[in-house]
Structure 1
Amino acid sequence: MTADAKPPTSARRDELLAASVAHVAEHGLAELSLRPLARAIGSSPRVLLYLFGSKEGLIREILEVGRAEQFALVTRADGRPGTARDTLDLLWTWLVAPERRGALRLFFDGYVRSFQGDAPWSDFAVASVDEWLPPLDRVLADHRVPPTLVLAVLRGLLLDHLAATNPAHAERVQAAWTAFLDEILPIR
């Protein structure tokens, strides 16, 4: 089996991928090593290599899970009835929910690492932007607001949200999001 080839999906593979995503969301990608990861998720490095082809293959799939979750939220928000402001506010609320903190951290970890251009991160940031812009474009179709601006502010404030260490910081970030929406999509 080549490094990029992987066995067919199995319940065990899915279980180990989910456990790997949870582990990386909590601990980050910076020092990811197969041996400690395998020990933490109840597997072995050999099994992980068999199931994912390589450490890079596993990382690629971990990043894909994180990106897919965020894209699903964007798509779900886009499909809900309501105004553009309602949709963007719903998206924000989903993204900053405490249970998504690990997924946000994983997303930004992969996003920043993609700037180095090395596999498995090389196309992560570009693919993410390419995925987010069409649904944001649909949400904002009746408004003179560039989707790229909304995406940039959203991601910047999400980074600030991750950095928030107390309720006052979190309130400041929430107030900034609300002020941004007031500016681009005022309530009439």
Structure 2
Amino acid sequence: MAADAKPPTSARRAELLAASVAYVAEHGLAELSLRPLAQAIGSSPRVLLYLFGAKEGLIREILDVGRAEQLALVERADGHRGTARQTLDLLWTWLIAPERRGALRLFFDGYVRSFDSPEGPWSDFAGKSLNDWLPPLRRVLADHPVPPTLVLAVLRGLLLDHLAATTRDHHERVQSAWTSFLDHSFPPPDTPG
């Protein structure tokens, strides 16, 4: 089999990819090694190499799954029939849900690593992410003067702060900052702007 060719999709491959995503969401990408990963998910390094071609191939697929999960939330919010403010707040609520913490960490891990890796498995992760998020945000903001890039920057900055928050007080300050941004950018119709 060629180095870049993948074996046909199988239930076992999908299972191992899902388990790898969960493992990396919990442990991060920084020191990812195939041996501990394989042991934790009930496989072997040899099987992982066969199924994913190389460690880099597995990392790329893990990041693709993480990016797809994030995009699915953005597109789901885009389909919401509320106001721009309601839609953005709904997206925020989905993104900060406790069960999404690992996926959020994985997203930012890949995003930051893409800055220093012009050739690695995450080389184009950040650019693709921008291209993923901006079109749905443009649709959500179609009737508002607030630039989608500003919304994306505030959203991602506060999501990073959310990940860094260690106390209830920290989380409340991050939530308050998000609410203040919405109040300033999307005031209710009867509020002087």
**TM-score > 0.5 by shorter chain:** yes
TM-score normalised according to structure 2 size: 0.96
Cα offset for 1:2? 2.2
- Determine if the alignment matches structure 1 residue 98 to structure 2 residue 95: no
The residue correspondences of 1:53-92 to structure 2 (distance < 5 A) are: 53-92=53-92
Partner of 2:160: 159
Q: How far apart are the structure 2 equivalents of 1:99 and 1:139?
A: 25
Q: How far apart are the structure 2 equivalents of 1:104 and 1:118?
A: 23
Partner of 1:42: 42
Q: How far apart are the structure 1 equivalents of 2:146 and 2:8?
A: 44
Kindly provide the CA deviation profile for residues 119-165 of structure 1, in whole angstroms up to 9, marking residues without a partner as x. 10110000000010000000000000100000000000000000010
Kindly provide the CA deviation profile for residues 71-123 of structure 1, in whole angstroms up to 9, marking residues without a partner as x. 00000000011100010000000000000000000000000000012310110
Q: Which moved further from structure 2: 3-12 or 160-169?
A: 3-12
Cα offset for 1:8? 1.3
Kindly provide the CA deviation profile for residues 10-65 of structure 1, in whole angstroms up to 9, marking residues without a partner as x. 11000000000000000000000101100011000000001001100000000000
Q: How far apart are the structure 2 equivalents of 1:36 and 1:129?
A: 32
Q: How far apart are the structure 2 equivalents of 1:4 and 1:130?
A: 25
Gaps of 5+ in 2: none
3-state SS of paired residue (2:14): helix
Q: How far apart are the structure 2 equivalents of 1:166 and 1:46?
A: 42
Q: How far apart are the structure 2 equivalents of 1:3 and 1:99?
A: 36
TM-score normalised according to structure 1 size: 0.99
The answer as to whether partners of 1:3 and 1:57 remain within 8 angstroms in 2 is no
Q: How far apart are the structure 1 equivalents of 2:4 and 2:89?
A: 39
Q: How far apart are the structure 2 equivalents of 1:5 and 1:72?
A: 27
Partner of 2:184: 183
Q: What stretches of structure 1 move > 6 A for 4+ residues in a row?
A: none
Q: How far apart are the structure 2 equivalents of 1:115 and 1:4?
A: 24
Cα offset for 1:5? 1.1
Two-structure CA RMSD over aligned residues (Å): 0.6
The one-letter amino acid of 2:146's match is V
Partner of 2:136: 135
Cα offset for 1:3? 2.4
Q: How far apart are the structure 2 equivalents of 1:185 and 1:145?
A: 8
Gaps of 5+ in 1: none
Q: Sequence identity of aligned pairs in percent?
A: 82
Count of aligned pairs: 188
3-state SS of paired residue (1:22): helix
